[in-house]
Amino acid sequence: MNDWNAMTDAEFRKEVRQFFEAEYPEELRHLPHRPKFAEIEHWHRKLHAKGWVAPAWPAEYGGMGLNAAKLLIFYEEQQRWGVNRGRDMGVQMVGPLIIKFGTQEQKDYWLPRILSCEDIWCQGYSEPGAGSDLANLRTRAEIDGDEFVINGQKIWTTMAHDATHIFMLVRTNPDAPKKQQGISFLLAPMDQSGVDVRTITTLSGETEFCEVFFDNARTPRANLVGELNKGWTMAKALLSFERIFIGSPSLAQNALGQLESFARGRGAFDDPVFRDRFAQAALDVEDHAALYARFADQLKRGETLGADVSMLKIWVTECFQRITELMIEAAGPDGGTIGPLQVGNISVDVLASFYKARPTTIYGGSNEIQRNILSKAVLGLPG
Amino acid sequence: MLSSEQDDLRLLRESARMLFERAGGSGRARKLRDAGGDFDPEMVRELAEAGVFGVAVPEDNGGLGMGLAAGGIIAGEVGRVIAPEPVVLTIGLSLGLLRRLCPDHPKVPQLISGETVLAVAWQERGPGGAPADATCRYAGGKLTGAKAWVVGAAGSQGFLVVAQGDDGQVLVLVEANADGFVINKRAQADGSSLGELSFSGTPAAELASGRAVQDALAEAVVDATALAAAELVGLSERAFEITLDYIKTREQFDKPIGSFQVIQHRAVDLHVMCEVAQAGVGEALAQMDGETDPKIRARLASRAKARAVTAAKKLTRDAIQLHGAVGYTDEFDVGLYLNRALVLSAWLGDDAYHRRLWFEAREEEGAAQ
């Protein structure tokens, strides 16, 4: 077994880069949509054989056991080469939770199935009345003998129509004094009559989001992870690394590269106003990357990130949006056209980029929620 | 673990901060402004004792040899207390020119020790008021013509003037009390003044000539631009701290105004802008220290100034708004920061100007590859 953490950063980066460049299927690079598992299965098999499905998991559970610094490099290389994250909800969300809070039986049963993608997971957190105010969720799970009976509705469940299992936050004690206290973390199979999935068509015409309805759906009691009514704190404990990942400069950097080639091909740089706005965007990306590097250095020194890391997400997602808006401007009369626009020997789908940028300020804790967090936890503002 | 270099930088920052705080922080800047806007020669000497002016001068020439990033740290502290002392002027421009052109000149140790302050004059004003080609001439030991936009003219003992000589540009030294030399002071928003200099057969001593003068001037201006950016970042940070304190204590509708979400979100945006500026400008200066190509150094300085001005404008203007009516009074310090930001933004080019230079430099580098 390799001790990746013993390698220098440069060696490790080279190793990861070489693997992606040699093995990642060309047709899957920079996929503009979220693939169904069948579409990327051949890539997943390679990754699984290499033992690289779960970079963050400890080696004893089949992961790479990367420390934060190496993990960041892994993700940077993944994004740089346009490697699709695959159906990684199991690896990113359920696996770490089971590793941290699950029983030995749960670990033995679920973890190998996550790595092999025998089970494909979706995340049942948001509900129609519980978005930013997630703790307001109402989906009930009641104990009935050896099972939980689930009733309610989840929404924005990414790729639920292509998942075999759902991990969810459910209300198990409606009478708890604080709404955060009556919530549990539960695993459930999707393939049963009490579960109904409907896709939601987004502005871009994609159907990656779903609504999931539970009508007396059932799951064994053994599928409760951690203690009953302790789901909220468990789910929150997982978010700390995600917060730097979601603020990484790569999305904006890639979009800026696209904008530059497109604008050049279209002659947009002849316009001094456009030049200035491009320079603003490019400098916004460059200076964000400098700030990101500071947080990354903190991780590399083994420090835990504070709430201030939220600022990365705010800045980079808003910057990403401005860049895609500039693409539309550069497209001129083609700015409302669906599909790729050809410029010289490159093609750029400006609308796809524009749409892709829109939800980034909403998901992962909307930018308004991030501002609330910074206001209270970092600036110490009252109320 | 901090490296010894980082340790040195930290010590430098702390000593500069202590020195300014002991002297009265931004309150001192207000007193000096009210007294006529000149800097305090005593403070110049104290700063010199702390090693401030020689920070970027190589050790062989009597400096600390710590580079531009260290200069930026000091400039940031100057910005925090809006100190009027000619720190960026000396580190970036006067010593920037002399250490490149004539490092053994006796003025070098005098500048490092704070015994003397020299302003630098190179720009000229055309008939329409905009910058124009240099016509100020030096011949036979005499200088004739005019120079404009000279920072620090009021308190300087002498002037480093870039003029047209018989064979291209020359750098000459003019004493402040020289004959045939008139300084017209134009008051600026922060109480300082810009000098408009006119020379008529003024005696001057030639220090250097030829292509080297042009190159050294360009590099000194680039250094000063980057340092001014660092000064603006320090200024922005402090303006934000003052504003944050204010919104935590000012009550309306029986609550601190900082408990209102609209204020909170604006405060967060200012904080984020400040952090981005600190990171971006810090990285640009650090990269300048590791870079010898003057064009790339110039691009990095433009990146720094563009970001710093963008941030300082937003920070100081929003600071006024968040203070409400009292922000518009002279009594509150936040206005001093706005005024200083106006002056520092205009000096050596504002954000739009530097974005243009940055873009052009980037295009040129791209075309060369």
Tell me the CATH number of domain B4-116, given options 3.40.50.2300, 1.10.3210.10, 1.10.540.10, 3.30.70.20.
Answer: 1.10.540.10
Among A111, A214, A132, smallest CA distance to A170 is for: A214
Chain A residues within an 8 Å CB radius of B275: 291, 308, 311
Q: Which residues of chain A neighbour B267 with C-beta distances below 8 Å?
A: 375, 379, 381
What CATH number belongs to B213-368? Answer: 1.20.140.10
**What is the distance in angstroms between the Cα of B71 and the nearest Cα belonging to chain A?**
19
* pLDDT at site A345: 81
- Average of per-residue pLDDT across A285-304: 90
Superfamily (CATH H level) for A121-229: Butyryl-CoA Dehydrogenase, subunit A, domain 2 (2.40.110.10)
Cβ-Cβ contacts under 8 Å for B11 (sequence gap 6 or more): none
What number is the average pLDDT over the span A274-290? 97
Nearest CA in chain B to A264: B363
Is A381 close to B248, i.e. CB distance below 8 A? Answer: yes
Residue with tokens 């390799």: A2
**Number of Cβ pairs closer than 8 Å across A and B?**
93
Q: What is the mean pLDDT of chain B?
A: 95
Rg of chain A over CA atoms, in angstroms? 22
Low-confidence ranges of chain B (pLDDT < 50): 1-2
pLDDT in tens, A239-260: 666 778 889 898 899 899 999 9
Residues of chain B with C-beta less than 8 angstroms from the C-beta of A368 = 265
With b for 16 or more beta-carbon neighbours within 10 A and e for fewer, the A235-256 pattern comes to beeeeebebbbbbbbbbbbbbb
Question: Is A294's Cβ below 8 Å from some Cβ in B?
Answer: yes
Pairwise CB contact (< 8 Å): B264 & A375:
yes
Concerning whether A368 is annotated as a catalytic residue, the answer is: no
- pLDDT tens digits along A70-93: 988 998 899 888 899 999 999 988
Active-site residue (options: A15, A147, A242, A329): A242
What ipTM score was computed for the predicted complex, to two decimals? 0.95
Alpha-carbon span A302 to A299, nearest angstrom? 5
**Contact between residue A89 and residue A20 where contact means Cβ atoms under 8 Å apart:** no
Tell me the average pLDDT of chain A.
Answer: 93
Predicted pLDDT at B3? 64
Q: What confidence tens digit (pLDDT) does each residue in A187-208 have? A: 999 999 999 999 999 999 989 9
**What is the distance in angstroms between the Cα of B264 and the nearest Cα belonging to chain A?**
6
* Residue of chain B whose Cα is closest to the Cα of A301: B1
- The answer to whether B120-209 and B213-368 have equal CATH topology is no
* Contact indicator for B235, B326 with CB cutoff of 8 Å: no
Q: Provide the residue ranges of all domains of chain B, joining segments of one domain with +.
A: 4-116, 120-209, 213-368
* End-to-end alpha carbon distance in chain B: 39
CATH superfamily of B120-209: Butyryl-CoA Dehydrogenase, subunit A, domain 2 (2.40.110.10)
The whole-model pTM stands at 0.92
Q: Which residue of A283, A315, A381 is in closest CB contact with B264?
A: A381
Q: Let me know if A262 is exposed, middle or buried by CB neighbors in 10 A (0-12, 13-18, 19+).
A: buried
Q: What is the pLDDT of residues A295-354, one digit of tens each?
A: 988 887 878 888 999 999 999 999 999 999 999 999 999 999 999 999 888 889 999 999
Tell whether the model's pLDDT for residue A109 goes beyond 60.
Answer: yes
pLDDT value at residue A240: 63
Does A196 reach chain B within 8 Å, measured CB to CB? no
Q: What's the CATH architecture for A238-378?
A: Up-down Bundle (1.20)
Angle between helices A310-331 and A350-357 (to 10 degrees): 150
Kindly list the domain boundaries of chain A, sorted by start residue: 4-86, 121-229, 238-378
Distance to chain B for A77, nearest Cα, Å: 22
pLDDT at B1: 39
Would an 8 Å CB–CB cutoff place B249 in contact with chain A? Answer: no
Give contacts of A314 with chain B, Cβ < 8 Å. Answer: 268, 272
Residues in chain B closer than 8 A to A283 (CB atoms): 280, 303, 306-307, 355, 358
Mean pLDDT of all residues in A151-176: 96
